[in-house]
Structure 1
Amino acid sequence: MANEYKAYKVNMGKAKCAVDLGDGSERGEYVNQDYILNKLGRPHRSISLMYCYYPLDEQWPARISEAMKDAEVSFQWDYPYDDYFTYKGGLNGDTEAEPFNYMRDVRRHGQDVTLTLTIDPNVSDEHLIAIANDLRPYGRLLLRINHEATGNWFSFTKRTTYQGVADFYVRFHKILKEYAPNVSTILCIGGIEDKNATEIIMEKEFSEAVKATDIWSVDKYMALHWGWPYDVALKDNENKQYGRSTVEDTYTLTKMSYNRFKEINGGVRKPMVMSEFNADGDVTGAYEQAEMVKGFCDMLKADPEEWFSAFTFYQFRDRGRLGLEIEDPNYPDCGIEQPVMKTYKEIIHDDFFMPSMTKGEEVAFPVKLRWGGAEDAEGLEIPMHFEKNPHFCEVTFDNELNLMIEINGKWFYKSPKAKTIDLMSAFFERPLDGAADLTMRIFAPPASGMNDISTEDGLYNTYTTIDKLPAVRVEYEPVM
């Protein structure tokens, strides 16, 4: 029972390389975090959500492909504005609608939010201040503003010059620092795209943005069918709208981009991430897709230089072949697992990609836990001895707590309404082959998915008091 165990403080910190996951875009709908957690067995550092904000357009706030469903379109981005789900917040907006309902789901499950937002660069500061205020209660949120900004496909690049796009980025970054300092900005541009290049794409235009931003990023698909879904990638296509690189070239160009960003910034380092990463199964097929993803991660692990902070796998479920699952065409809420799922699951359970855990002193109850974010949280660590592989293992809580629980490498979510959590699935894939000492860890992300920003440090932290340890049931034989 509970009184058999001692509890210690544990601090969760950064991984050597964090892993984030895209969930929903123009190519697929949002998948709830309970399903993803059960499928992958651990939370991510962050979940990436993709939205657009073009409030000056007559079709707004409808999703543009639905507002113009009869339009003749031959490319994904041929609409007046980007075919993402529409950001319902902003000036005179609704923060109970998308993406805020999904942001709360993400944060309840012990993950941070990466919000990708394409924005009309002609909106006034009033709009940007409203967005900043929207984001204040969501902790250490990452905001990717007008991504792939040196490309020519998104609507924001057609509404001003590239210098205008860069200037808009710096303007919004400064507004965020004033109104929502909890938000970190991600600049996603072309970077170095040729091994012989000495400058990033449009370096003159984007140098100030490189210096201003909090985080540097490039999107790198080792293979991509950019003509999807309006054509089929075939070997004998005359007008190919797809391409493929190598794992080595992708890695080299990404690292060259980081080094050039650093030079532009006067030699001062900033976090470097890849905000969209994958190999498109439309081009490679399902098996080589998995091989390429593994190959890139193997190169990261083998590199002695610590230069790369995180990548975002794009995405969990996809209507094309860019997902861990393909959306079932007969039933959109169902996904068809791809070979890359097994590979990705192995990657994210490697210690290199797992958050650090540092054990602290023994605690006396009641104890207050702090949740800062997926890279900065204080939880409980409970050493447990198992005689052998259990037949039953569960924990029961008396109070309505919102918790993330980890044992034997598998994570579980406990909502405030749930009382008993069955932990046995932690032993299905990794059964014990004899006696073993394991550790159960408990963290308490915000139950509402939001921070109380009226408190002194509410922009960055939430707190939960746990009165006592849960009741633990472990049995080694069937009941009968």
Structure 2
Amino acid sequence: MELKNLYKVHMGKANCAIDLGDGSERGEYVNQDYILAKLGRPMRSISLMYCYYPLDKGWPGRASVVHASPDVSFAWDYPYDDYFTYQGGIGGSTEGEPFCYMREIRAHGQDVTLTLTIDPHVSDEMLAQIGKDLRPFGRMLLRINHEATGNWFSFNKRCTYQEVADFFVRAARIIKEEAPNVSVIVCIGGVEHADKQEIEMEQEFAQTIPAADIWSVDKYMALHWGWPYDVAEPGGSSHNRGTVAETYEMTKRSFERFRFLNGGVAKPMVMSEFNADGDVTGPYDQAKMVREFCDLLVKDQATWFTGFTFYQFRDRGRLGLEIEDPNNPEVGIEQPVMDTFRELIQEDWFLPRLTNQDAQQLPVTLRWGGSEDAEGLAMDLHFEGNPHFCELYFEDDTNLMIELGGKWFYKAPKTRFVDLMPLFFKKPLTGPCDMTLRLFAPPASGENDLTLADGLFNSYTTIERLPKLRVRYTPVEK
């Protein structure tokens, strides 16, 4: 089949973005090829969770390894937070974690959200180096010392709430001076009680609202925080469960209060962690509650709410789309919420906007600003019926994200063949059909070229030739 009628297409923001957590203290990182095959499309952003306590004994070893103790009875009882450790910084390297994963995420057409818990006693120079580390990674998001009005993370045990708030403002300023491409997220307790107007610790944390680019609250409609040291049972004290309506209402009131504290000016509002813990709800109610919350967003046309991050893809407990197989951590066991999630990310309110632009002739230079601002190349296809073979063949080393019929495929630089048939396994054509094939070109290395004038924010790829499309409507015969 000949590829023709070339035109540019712009990918912009969804009404409500859906992001995904990938790895934490409760689960390992899962590669993006596997996630894409499971979900069918890339996320707006993938969230990674790391810590930076370079002044501590045992650093950069993971806390649960270098400080292992039989006396630990709570996930945050170690000297510093039991996240994966940030391997960059002064004297560090950007070859290891989280940078290797950040590169893979960006090559697969997604932005990065980096959650980083940081010792508030680190120097300005240490913070500046973090900014330098993050410069090549485009329009990424950085969540500093999240859930900062809580009492479980090490930074809260070492400092007063006033000191934690002061540190956020200092860290955000210094890191963004080095990395203007980074948007900083403040994640604090919002309005938590129906009879209160103020946010948690408002006097201390009011200053963080104008200092941040994005506002966030973490909301678990049900949570078993005692995992993995006990089991959630009726009458227990290590879990809770709220309602979907309460979660929605408190989140909206939090946004309104944040806006008030910002002089009436709104900023993007997200949930950086969102779920209902299957340890409490069981697998069926977990899926039901996630569905109900998203239905509320659509029903209310909640334009004040920018997006949420589902926590997480694969979990050793029951906070994942998959549960980690206890026999083999590399194997995931799908939960009912996986089907719910797959349905949600294909619904109009949660899909990025694809807008057709001008007709083109090769060669074409495509701009990748990020998953909410990218230029792609589109072409119209006509199918006579449901294919038996639908394949793309490439002769170049481009790095591409490919969309057809709502399903996305990844082409790595050295890949020469992409099989599009999985689209038709789930959505077979019942007759002749016109479809659009779209190509986007995120940076192959996962990093931007900082020698370009706008390299902090954009990368560019020139498409010299189109792939060859093979479509056959019958099996091969002798």
- TM-score, normalization by structure 2: 0.99
Measured after TM superposition, the shift of residue 166 of structure 1 is 0.5
**Letter aligned with residue 454 of structure 1:** T
**Letter aligned with residue 253 of structure 1:** M
**Equivalence map 1:19-418=2 (5 Å):** 19-237=18-236, 240-418=237-415
Contact 2:147 2:218 in 1 (8 A): yes
1:74 and 1:469 mapped to 2: Cα distance? 58
Contact 1:19 1:348 in 2 (8 A): yes
Measured after TM superposition, the shift of residue 221 of structure 1 is 0.2
Measured after TM superposition, the shift of residue 305 of structure 1 is 4.2
2:372 and 2:100 mapped to 1: Cα distance? 22
Aligned pair partner of 1:454 in 443, 446, 451: 451
2:408 and 2:120 mapped to 1: Cα distance? 41
Measured after TM superposition, the shift of residue 304 of structure 1 is 3.2
**Comparing 465-474 and 404-413, the one that deviates more:** 465-474
Alpha-carbon deviations, 1:349-383, whole Å to 9, x = none? 11110100000111010000000000000001111
Alpha-carbon deviations, 1:107-160, whole Å to 9, x = none? 000000000000000000010001000000000010000000000000001111
Alpha-carbon deviations, 1:82-105, whole Å to 9, x = none? 000000001111100100000001
- Structure 2 SS opposite 1:90: coil
Measured after TM superposition, the shift of residue 236 of structure 1 is 4.2
**Letter aligned with residue 67 of structure 1:** V
4+ runs deviating over 3 angstroms: none
1:195 and 1:399 mapped to 2: Cα distance? 59
2:451 and 2:163 mapped to 1: Cα distance? 36
Measured after TM superposition, the shift of residue 28 of structure 1 is 0.1
**Letter aligned with residue 433 of structure 1:** T
1:98 and 1:6 mapped to 2: Cα distance? 43
Measured after TM superposition, the shift of residue 70 of structure 1 is 3.0
Measured after TM superposition, the shift of residue 273 of structure 1 is 0.2
Gaps of at least 5 residues in structure 2 are: none
1:355 and 1:176 mapped to 2: Cα distance? 29
**Letter aligned with residue 166 of structure 1:** A
Contact 1:408 1:427 in 2 (8 A): no
1:267 and 1:57 mapped to 2: Cα distance? 41
Measured after TM superposition, the shift of residue 432 of structure 1 is 1.1
Measured after TM superposition, the shift of residue 277 of structure 1 is 0.2
- Structure 2 SS opposite 1:7: strand
Measured after TM superposition, the shift of residue 454 of structure 1 is 1.6
Aligned residue for 2:435?
Answer: 438
**Comparing 198-207 and 68-77, the one that deviates more:** 68-77
- Structure 1 SS opposite 2:402: strand
Measured after TM superposition, the shift of residue 76 of structure 1 is 0.4
Contact 1:404 1:442 in 2 (8 A): yes
1:177 and 1:147 mapped to 2: Cα distance? 17
Across the aligned residues of Structure 1 and Structure 2, the Cα RMSD in angstroms comes to 0.8
- Structure 2 SS opposite 1:222: strand
Alpha-carbon distance change, 284 to 305 in structure 1, aligned in 2, over 3 angstroms: closer
Measured after TM superposition, the shift of residue 196 of structure 1 is 1.4
2:71 and 2:450 mapped to 1: Cα distance? 47
Contact 2:67 2:79 in 1 (8 A): no
**Letter aligned with residue 37 of structure 1:** L
2:446 and 2:303 mapped to 1: Cα distance? 32
- Structure 2 SS opposite 1:20: strand
1:404 and 1:135 mapped to 2: Cα distance? 23
Aligned residue for 1:466?
Answer: 463
Give me the identity figure in percent. 66
Alpha-carbon distance change, 305 to 68 in structure 1, aligned in 2, over 3 angstroms: closer
**Comparing 216-225 and 380-389, the one that deviates more:** 380-389
Alpha-carbon deviations, 1:2-49, whole Å to 9, x = none? 3x5221100000000001000000000000000000000000000000
1:332 and 1:395 mapped to 2: Cα distance? 34
1:250 and 1:199 mapped to 2: Cα distance? 16
2:121 and 2:294 mapped to 1: Cα distance? 39
**Comparing 32-41 and 434-443, the one that deviates more:** 434-443
1:217 and 1:206 mapped to 2: Cα distance? 13
2:265 and 2:11 mapped to 1: Cα distance? 26
2:243 and 2:387 mapped to 1: Cα distance? 45
2:280 and 2:177 mapped to 1: Cα distance? 45
**Letter aligned with residue 233 of structure 1:** A
**Letter aligned with residue 395 of structure 2:** D
